[in-house]
Amino acid sequence: MSTEVLPPARTYLFVPGTRPERFDKALASGADRIVLDLEDAVAIDDKATARRVVATWLQKVEPEVRSRIVVRINDASSPCFGADLSALGDADGIGVLLPKAESAAQIGETQAALPHAGILALIETARGVSEARRIATAGAQRLVFGTLDFALDLDLDISTNGVGLIHAASCIVIASRLAGLPSPVAGVTPQLDDEARLLSDLAEARHLGFGAKLCIHPRQVAPIHAALRPSAGALDWAGRVLEADAASPGAARLDGRMVDRPVVLQARRTLALARD
Model pLDDT for residues 62-72, shown as the tens digit of each residue: 988 999 999 99
Same domain, 106 and 140: yes
Looking at the fold, whether 152 and 187 belong to one and the same domain comes out as yes
Domain identity same for 147 and 248? no
Instruction: Evaluate if residue 259 carries a pLDDT over 90.
Output: no
Residue 248 is predicted with a pLDDT of 82
As a whole number of angstroms, the distance between CA 203 and CA 216 comes to: 18
Residue 166, in any domain of the structure: yes
Reported confidence tier of residue 276, pLDDT bands at 50, 70, 90: low
Nearest to 36 by CA among 81, 88, 83: 88
Q: Which of 45, 44, 25, 1 is nearest to 36 (CA)?
A: 25
**Together in a domain, 143 and 266:** no
Residue 3 lies in a domain: no
- Are 122 and 243 contained in the same domain? no
Q: Write the CATH number for 160.
A: 3.20.20.60
The verdict on residue 223 lying in a domain is: yes
In a domain, 1, yes or no: no
Q: Tell me which residue of 119, 128, 174 sits closest to 147, measured CA to CA.
A: 128
Whether 131 is in a domain gets the answer yes
Shared-domain flag, residues 63 and 173:
yes
Examine the domain organization and report whether 109 and 186 are in the same domain.
yes
Which is more confident, 74 or 240? 74
Is residue 86 classed as helix, strand or coil in its secondary structure? helix
Q: What is the pLDDT of residues 206-250, one digit of tens each?
A: 999 999 999 999 999 999 999 998 778 878 887 888 888 888 887
Domain assignment present for 4: no
Q: Do 237 and 122 have their domain in common? A: no
For residue 139, is pLDDT > 60?
yes
Which pLDDT score, from 0 to 100, does residue 14 have? 98
Domain count across the chain: 2
Same domain, 154 and 222: yes
pLDDT surpasses 60 at 1: no
CA dist., res. 230 & res. 114, Å (int): 36
In Å, how far are 11, 68, 194, 212 from 186, measured between CA atoms? 10, 18, 17, 6
First to last CA, the chain: 26
* 249 in the same domain as 145: no
Q: Shortest CA distance to 59 belongs to which of 97, 34, 87? A: 87
> Which domain range does residue 257 map to?
232-272
Residue 75 lies in a domain: yes
Per-residue model confidence (pLDDT) at position 272: 75
Residue 195 clears pLDDT 60, i.e. is over it: yes
Domain shared by 216 and 260, yes or no: no
- What is the structure's pLDDT at 201? 96
Same domain, 97 and 151: yes
